Amino acid sequence: MTGPDAPAEDIVISVRGLVSRFGSHVVHDHLDLDVRRGEVLGLVGGSGSGKSVLLNTLLGLREPDAGTIAVLDAPPSLDGAGRRLALCRRIGVLFQGGALFSALTVRENVASPLVEHTRLDDRLIDRIVDLKLALAGLPGTVAEQAPADLSGGMRKRVSLARALALDPELLFLDEPTAGLDPIGAEAFDHLILSLRESLGLTVVLATHDLDTLYAVTDRIAVMADRKIVAVAPAAELEQSTHPWVRSYFLGPRSRAARAAHAPGA
């Protein structure tokens, strides 16, 4: 269901009244957000709008100063550590920049969640790693390489393979196409859509990449004025009267992205 009144069982993330502060600086002021099962939700906002703070709070890496957060079926009463423990096998994260362990091989990086959170034997872990690398569009020959030996695009895909290691239901992507050339970024966009369809993922995607927003997302949540000021498909956001939303979605770069991804383009 894609309307505003999606049933409760179709809501996988519910944020109500979120307040985030750093000293006297307020980042989020009673922010509300719902993420629906099976959708790709884009998250946009200007620099300093609090996108990374929101992602870290959803992941349990930061405690909210007020408000409630429910992710999947983890109770909103859980603190950050409790939420991380309840969700560690059900979510995957691709951090901005990849955050690969430089001292480990590609195989060891992708295997690290399996080693930490399962009791599978090494042989089975190796088979799973090979599968996840293939899902991320990587040849098996990269498995024994060091991250430093790979291109930026390949490192992104290794990070994605690691995020998929535990078969998550929910995937968080922080600027997944940042630093990629246009061809690599487009290929990564197609990969996200393919994985969503084949694995039944729900994806939360923080990005500044307008091409990615138009190509991949079902809805886009816009952060401004310390809140979520709009949540809608890109075409609807183009009709917004909010000044920041209009400047973002009606500028020349947005018009180019919209034209490039229009049906039949």
Residue 71: name the closest of 93, 45, 49 by CA: 93
Phi and psi at residue 32, in whole multiples of 5°? -120, 145
According to the model, what pLDDT value does residue 130 have? 95
According to the model, what pLDDT value does residue 9 have? 63
According to the model, what pLDDT value does residue 214 have? 92
User: What is the rounded distance in angstroms from the CA atom of residue 20 to the CA atom of residue 67?
Assistant: 9
Q: What structural domains and CATH numbers belong to the chain?
A: 37-62+79-260 (3.40.50.300)
Q: Is 22 exposed, middle or buried (0-12, 13-18, 19+ CB in 10 A)?
A: exposed
Phi and psi at residue 36, in whole multiples of 5°? -95, 145
According to the model, what pLDDT value does residue 180 have? 86
Residue with tokens 């917004």: 240
According to the model, what pLDDT value does residue 153 have? 87
Say how many C-beta atoms besides its own lie within 10 A of residue 203's C-beta. Answer: 23
Residue 98's identity, in one-letter code, is: G
According to the model, what pLDDT value does residue 1 have? 38
**Residue pLDDT tens, the chain, 265 long:** 344 556 666 999 999 999 999 999 999 999 999 999 999 999 999 887 889 899 989 988 888 999 988 898 776 666 666 666 767 788 999 987 778 999 999 999 999 999 998 899 999 999 999 999 999 999 989 999 999 999 888 999 999 999 999 999 999 999 898 888 888 889 999 999 999 999 999 999 999 889 999 999 999 999 999 999 999 999 999 999 999 998 888 876 666 666 666 666 5
User: What is the rounded distance in angstroms from the CA atom of residue 174 to the CA atom of residue 233?
Assistant: 19
| Helices and strands per DSSP (H, E), number in the chain | 10, 9
DSSP string over 161-193: HHHTTT--SEEEEESTTTT--HHHHHHHHHHHH
User: What is the rounded distance in angstroms from the CA atom of residue 198 to the CA atom of residue 181?
Assistant: 26
According to the model, what pLDDT value does residue 2 have? 41
User: What is the rounded distance in angstroms from the CA atom of residue 95 to the CA atom of residue 102?
Assistant: 15
According to the model, what pLDDT value does residue 146 have? 95
Strand partners, 70: 14
